[in-house]
Structure 1
Amino acid sequence: MAEKQYIVFKLNDEKFAANINHIASITDYASITSLPNGPAYVDGLLNLRGDIIPVVNLKKRFKMTDTVARDKRILIARRDDILIGFLVDDASQSMSVDEKDVLPPPKIAIKKENAYISEVCIHNNELIIVIDLDKVLSEDEISEILEIN
């Protein structure tokens, strides 16, 4: 049976995952320049090897308590021709999950505001929510960020 590959990351003490094919790179937390008048969930801009990338704080985006984390990382995702950074508390491992252990999200999670939940998987007897990074921001939200940028 085929396996799916994910990057596991943390937001506070909760584990989440993203499809490894949606992630261009992972970088250590670096100096982020604040974005005046930007959306509250955008921490600012990151200069990564000459590319200016907006950085979305996933905890703010998901309305989670924003606790201080020691091992902040930035997941760099490509959506069409645009690079977007997603600030997470830790992203230190990948995981392979047998397709039989990958399930659709529960009906309670299938709402417009949760459209980014693509599936859930069971890994080592742990339930992990899989986030579709392409759906974290709407087209209008991306346009708004790019206009400010």
Structure 2
Amino acid sequence: MADKQYIIFKLNEEKFAASINHIASITEYASITPLPNGPAYIDGLLNLRGDIIPVVNLKKRFKMAEQKMNEKRILIARKGDIQIGFLVDDASQSMTVEESLIMPPPKIAIKRDNAYISEVCVYNNELIIVIDLDNVLSDEEIEEIITL
């Protein structure tokens, strides 16, 4: 059995994880330019070494309360040839999980609007929800963002 590697990130005080294979880089929070008339979950655009990247606020996307956090990070992910930033409160730890400790999410908890939950895993006796960053936005939503 193969182990899987994840990046742990926080939204408020909750821990989540994403496959290390989906993350191109992690960057410090930098100046984000607001995007007029953009979707409510898009905080704006980030200029990262000459690339203009839309930044999705995962708390807004997941309809979570916005709590003030001292640290913010942006997970940079690729979907095809498009880069998307995901604003999180912290992302500084990686974890390796044995395959035997990774389970599919309970079917009763998954609906169409949270199908981005790919699995759950147990790490240091904590249950952590794994987010598939490729599925946080639909193809239609990505198309809407890149045509703004």
TM-score by length of 2: 0.99
The two structures have a TM-score, normalised by structure 1, of 0.98
Describe the SS at the equivalent of 1:96: strand
Match of 2:74 in 1: 74
Matches within 5 A, 1:41-80: 41-80=41-80
Most deviating of 105-114 and 12-21: 105-114
Structure 2 counterpart of 1:4: 4
Aligned partner letter, 1:104 = P
- Alignment match, 2:103: 103
CA RMSD in angstroms, aligned pairs only = 0.6
Count matched residues: 148
List per-residue Cα deviations over 1:33-64 (Å, max 9, x = no partner). 00000000000000000000000000000000
User: For 1:36, what is the secondary structure of its paired residue?
Assistant: coil
Name whichever of 9-18 and 100-109 sits farther off.
100-109
- CA-to-partner distance for each residue in 1:88-125, whole Å, 9 max, x for gaps? 00001000000000000012222101110000000011
Matched residue SS, 2:40: coil
4+ residue segments displaced more than 6 Å: none
2:18 and 2:106 mapped to 1: Cα distance? 17
Kindly state the Cα deviation for residue 3 of structure 1 after the two structures are TM-superposed: 0.6
Which residue matches 2:22? 22
Q: C-alpha distance in 1, partners of 2:63/2:110?
A: 17
Q: Is residue 119 from structure 1 mapped to residue 119 from structure 2 by the alignment? A: yes
The code of the aligned residue for 1:23 comes to I
Which residue pairs with 1:141 in the alignment? 141
Query: Is the Cα–Cα contact under 8 Å of residues 109 and 117 in structure 1 kept in the other structure?
Result: no
AA at the equivalent of 1:57: N
